[in-house]
Amino acid sequence: MKKLLFLLITLIIFTNVSYASFPDNTFDKLTSIVLQDPEGEGYDHSGWEPSPILGVLFGLILLLSAFFLIREWWRAWRRGIKWVRILTKVLMWIAIVYASLTLIAVTLGFGVGSGMGG
Model pLDDT for residues 50-83, shown as the tens digit of each residue: 678 888 899 999 999 999 999 999 999 999 999 9
Q: Considering the domain boundaries, does residue 43 fall inside one?
A: no
Give the pLDDT of residue 15: 73
In 3D, which of 3, 8, 2, 6 has the Cα closest to residue 66?
Answer: 8
* 79 belongs to a structural domain: yes
**Residue 41: per-residue pLDDT:** 56
Residue 46 lies in a domain: no
User: Could you give the angle at the alpha carbon of 75 between the alpha carbons of 62 and 67, nearest 5°?
Assistant: 15
Q: Which domain holds residue 101?
A: 55-108
Residue 86 lies in a domain: yes
Number of domains in the chain: 1
Confidence of residue 118 (pLDDT cuts 50, 70, 90): very low
Q: How far apart are CA 5 and CA 9, in angstroms?
A: 6
Mean of all residue pLDDT scores within the chain = 77
CA 22, distance to chain mean position in Å, is 21
Task: Please state the separation of Cα 101 from the chain's center in Å.
Answer: 22
Max mean pLDDT range (5-9, 45-49, 91-95, 110-114)? 91-95
27 confidence band (pLDDT: 50, 70, 90): low
**Is 78 a member of any domain?**
yes
Residue 82 located in a structural domain = yes
Question: Is 96 a domain residue?
Answer: yes
